[in-house]
Amino acid sequence: MGTKAFLDLGAYRHAVRLADDVTAEVARWESFERWSLGIQLVRSADSVGANIAEAAGRWHVADKRRVLFIARGSLYETEHWLARAAARGLLKTDYSAQIGEIARALSGLLRRPT
């Protein structure tokens, strides 16, 4: 895998799209919500794609899988923060379909032998 091959991974593309969408929405929130819940949401969403990219650069299969599991944990954290934002009436968009796409793509990467 080349140094930028992660850019072609569906999991990565879906993850960065979610992170960009969430960031744009959080940027419109009032200051308190943006700096309390919003920053946590944006950081966790950004972490999903970052960890997928990092995993692509790992040499050993076990190490790649470990970092992909971290990406999955960040996805769960993102889902938590999205649920909190929705419960507080802060979201205009339902992100559950995007979360599902990323989860499926990540599962596919974790099932790969290499």
What is the reported pLDDT for 114?
A: 56
Residues of the chain short of pLDDT 50, as ranges, are 1
CB 6 within 8 A of CB 53: yes
- Enumerate domains of the chain plus CATH numbers: 5-111 (1.20.1440.60)
Tell me, yes or no, if the pTM score tops 0.85. Answer: yes
What is the reported pLDDT for 91?
A: 97
What is the reported pLDDT for 4?
A: 80
Residue carrying the six token digits 């995007």: 98
What is the reported pLDDT for 5?
A: 85
Q: What is the separation of C-alpha 35 from the centre of its chain, rounded to a whole number of angstroms?
A: 19
C-alpha 42/C-alpha 81 separation (Å) is: 9
What is the reported pLDDT for 68?
A: 97
